[in-house]
Amino acid sequence: MPIHPTAVVDPNAQIDPTAEIGPFASIGPNVTIGARTQVMSHAFLEGHTTIGEDNKIYPGAVIGTPPQHLGWAGAPTYTVIGDRNTFREYVTIHGSYVQGGRTLIGNDNYFMANAHVGHDSVVGHNVTIANASMLGGHVEVQDRCFISGLVGVHQFCRVGRLVMIAGVARITRDVPPYMMAYGDSEVIGINLVGLRRAGISAASQAEIKKAYRVLYDERRSLPAALKILKAVPRSPEVQHLIAFLESSKRGICGGLRSSRKGEAPPEPSDAKVI
């Protein structure tokens, strides 16, 4: 087992023989680390934390520590991480606050330096979260999202599948799937680059464009827009969009404010193929 002699590893931790633990890393007693995962220098893994295979945890990352919540009374915290994720320098992933809850990270995600995932959040697969962006507690980020740098996502918000959020945005409501969000919880268009990269068919893209017009260009209320969207059969992607809208508890992001309509939209990032 390639564990550096300066690493502090509790004897009760379960570490696969092929995993690597770097100098001065700290591994708590209830941590499980899967095959070929690399834990680099000064990383700190605590709580009831399970980490899958082929992950890369860079120097200074902190995973599984207690939630930042004044009401936390010392209950065990749980974090579950899948395979092939990258956690760059000083990423923080906090364990659960809710009794029996878990903070969940899927597969093939990329967390850039100083990104933060709050307690009881759920991050799907193939998600990129750029530098210094923050997810509050109980946030859900669905598959293939790109969250640019310095973004703040309010607790209990949801970010739908294949969403792109521009840098320095503030998200306080749900972002519907396939959209581009900007500024103060504003939807400014469809993430066409993400749709193409994900292999969404031209026919489905056309259906999503129609749904966007109903939701945003026609300035309808959400119940009225849903009534129109549900009136005729839709593609699986639009069916997913409808289900997301119907299950929203915080409401969805509004359209671009008239005061911003002369501004150029942000360019999609090429930091990682989504």
Q: pLDDT tens-digit profile of 73-94?
A: 999 999 999 999 999 999 999 9
Which of 48, 94, 116, 119 is catalytic? The answer is: 119
Catalytic residue status for 119: yes
For the segment 42-82, what is each residue's pLDDT rounded down to a tens digit? Answer: 999 999 999 999 999 999 999 999 999 999 999 999 999 99
Q: Where are the domains of the chain?
A: 8-194, 196-248
Q: Which fold has domain 8-194?
A: UDP N-Acetylglucosamine Acyltransferase; domain 1 (2.160.10)
Taking 50 as the threshold, does the pLDDT of residue 269 lie above it? no
Catalytic residue status for 137: yes
Which of 120, 138, 149, 240 is catalytic? The answer is: 120
Report how far apart, in Å, the C-alpha atoms of 2 and of each of 5, 40, 58 are. 9, 12, 16
Taking 80 as the threshold, does the pLDDT of residue 259 lie above it? no
Catalytic residue status for 71: no
For the segment 130-149, what is each residue's pLDDT rounded down to a tens digit? Answer: 999 999 999 999 999 999 99
Residue type, 195: L
Contacts of 169 (CB under 8 A, 6+ apart): 148, 151, 152, 181, 182, 183, 184, 185
Which of 124, 137, 160, 183 is catalytic? The answer is: 137
Q: Give the global pTM.
A: 0.93
CATH label, 196-248, candidates 3.40.30.10, 3.40.50.1820, 1.10.3720.10, 1.20.1180.10: 1.20.1180.10
